[in-house]
Amino acid sequence: MDGWIRSILLGTVGIGLFSMNVASADDQWNVVFLTLDGVRAEEFFHGVRFPRRTKETGHAFPLFWERTAQHAMIFGDDDARMRISNPYSVSLPGYQSIFTGRSQGSKCRGNGDDCQPLSESTFLERAKNDLKLKSSEVAVIASWTEYRRAVEKNANSFYVNVGQEPMIDPENPKELPESLGQLNQEQKKNLAPWAPTRSDRFTFDYALWYLKEKQPRMLVIGLNDADELAHHGRYDSYFKTLRKYDEWIERLRETLGQLGEYGRKTALIVTTDHGRGKGVFWSQHARVLAASAWVWAFVVPPEELTDRVTRRNTGTYAHADIRPTVEKLLGLETKKAGPGQSWIESVDSTAD
Ligand SMILES: [Zn+2]
């Protein structure tokens, strides 16, 4: 009897170890990738820069610096500069170079007709194809209508929702969940002053829904209000929007914390598409305003990889590094396609 119970127990332990081995051989990491349009490194790192234009004081991202920074790899401060990877300091060339991993050169010079459709695929398309994912396992939810032109060379291979498009369940498009129906109604009634671009709060709520319901391998969230408010010269509103972004980053972290194993296997990467001018030129960004080329980013590795990732420390970083970084996290062998280098030097695959 004793021996029989022991062998059952050992058997159970054996099965437990076996399934752990299977899991670690087949580690599936996920990425939530958030872009905040036109947020200057000055505010990200140093908080309020124009105290006479706002009553706010201190950090723009206080929750991040207090709770998350110690778990993150951070790029773009004064010692470790980070640059855009296109010559124009404008959004669409910025996003195209982020998602393809290199500058599209003169093929994309601006946000309008001066930007051609992508002629090469993005890391989202590569992830979808090489990891053989369902189309709902890769999703892009963004405020800005033109964002679509940066994420896919071939339309409709994964879920993309931009601008005022109502949100649906892409796996079950005929049945709208009640919570989405309400959000869609509210969105219609609360168009952004810069419509057809959507107000970020709807983009964020849609994205949060998607994250919880679909637990995708790759979720891209593109927010935009900060850039619009800055262009209007509204420093106070711009700064308050950064505070909102800070809360939302915290919400994403909390949500991942509530999603069990999926959450522990998910990395969070945040960046901006371009900087802005210095001093009185803070509200604009352009090639002639050199500071617009300086950006920032951070990577919070999956909780299960804490202490198992080694950061590359070369002192200079660029948007082009994001593609190889994401590909490393997703376990895709890095092709020598672009000029970037992964920020993650290595991942120690031996779990304790
Ligand atoms: Zn802009």
Give the pLDDT confidence of 104-153 residue by residue, as tens digits. Answer: 999 999 999 999 999 999 999 999 999 999 999 999 999 999 999 999 99
Residue 254 φ then ψ, to 5°: -65, -40
Ligand 1 centroid–CA 339 distance in Å is: 25
- Please check whether residue 7 lies inside any domain of the structure: no
- Please check whether residue 319 lies inside any domain of the structure: yes
Per the structure, the complete domain to which residue 32 belongs is given by 28-347
Residue 17 confidence (pLDDT) = 36
The set of residues, in sequence order, having a beta carbon less than 8 Å from that of 267 and lying 6+ positions away, is: 29, 30, 31, 32, 299, 300, 301, 302, 305, 329
Share of the chain above pLDDT 90, in %: 84
E-assigned strands of 61-158?
73-75, 81-83, 138-142
- Please check whether residue 352 lies inside any domain of the structure: no
- Position 19 confidence tier, pLDDT thresholds 50, 70, 90: very low
CB neighbourhood size of 345 (10 A): 13
Average pLDDT of the segment spanning 308-322:
92
Q: Is 10 exposed, middle or buried (0-12, 13-18, 19+ CB in 10 A)?
A: exposed
Residue 350 confidence (pLDDT) = 66
Residue 348 confidence (pLDDT) = 80
Alpha-carbon distances, residue 308 vs 75, 301, 345 (angstroms) = 19, 9, 11
pLDDT tops 90 at residue 15: no
- Please check whether residue 22 lies inside any domain of the structure: no
Ligand 1 centroid–CA 39 distance in Å is: 10
- Please check whether residue 137 lies inside any domain of the structure: yes
Residue 224 confidence (pLDDT) = 98
- Please check whether residue 263 lies inside any domain of the structure: yes
Mean pLDDT of the chain: 91
CATH at 325: 3.40.720.10
Ligand 1 centroid–CA 273 distance in Å is: 9
- How far apart are alpha carbons 95 and 318 in whole angstroms? 13
- Please check whether residue 10 lies inside any domain of the structure: no
Q: What would the pLDDT profile of 191-208 be if each residue is shown by its tens digit?
A: 999 999 999 999 999 999
Residue 14 confidence (pLDDT) = 36
Average pLDDT of the segment spanning 3-18:
39
Quote the radius of gyration of the chain (alpha carbons, Å). 21
Ligand 1 centroid–CA 91 distance in Å is: 6
| Structural domain count of the chain | 1
- Please check whether residue 184 lies inside any domain of the structure: yes
Ligand 1 centroid–CA 231 distance in Å is: 7
pLDDT tops 90 at residue 314: no
Share of the chain above pLDDT 70, in %: 90
Ligand 1 centroid–CA 99 distance in Å is: 18
Q: What would the pLDDT profile of 233-243 be if each residue is shown by its tens digit?
A: 999 999 999 99
pLDDT tops 70 at residue 26: no
CB neighbourhood size of 299 (10 A): 24
Instruction: Give 59 or 26, the one with higher predicted confidence.
Output: 59
